[in-house]
């Protein structure tokens, strides 16, 4: 297997994770700034989670720059 397929799969999984995370953000019922105040902790938690997933994705991308070929062990380690 070429490493591009595994990278594409991992990119897809991370994109789905980010999508699921953003679905948890709720739209405020009011249209003023005061309505956003209760959502600040949830938004900050999303930002921190997004950064964490982004760091993981970045490290994963750099790790696969040195991979020459993918075998079964690599697939299981990536899982």
pLDDT of res. 77: 85
Number of domains the chain is built from:
1
What six digits make up the tokens of 8? 């594409």
Whole domain around residue 68: which residue ranges? Answer: 3-78
Contacts of 1 (CB under 8 A, 6+ apart): 69, 70, 71, 75
> Average pLDDT, stretch 25-40?
87
Q: How far is CA 73 from CA 12, 52, 58, 77, 78, in A?
A: 20, 25, 21, 6, 9
pTM exceeding the 0.85 threshold for the entire prediction: no
Contact 63, 78 (CB under 8 A): no
Is the predicted pLDDT of residue 1 greater than 80, yes or no? no
């Amino acid at each position: 297997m070429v490493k591009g397929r595994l990278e594409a799969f991992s990119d897809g999984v991370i994109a789905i994770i980010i999508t699921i995370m953003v679905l948890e953000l709720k739209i405020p019922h009011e249209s003023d700034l005061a309505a956003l105040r209760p959502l600040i902790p949830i938004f900050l938690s999303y930002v921190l989670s997004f950064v964490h997933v982004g760091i993981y994705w970045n490290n994963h991308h750099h790790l696969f720059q040195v991979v020459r070929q993918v075998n079964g062990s690599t697939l299981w380690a990536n899982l």
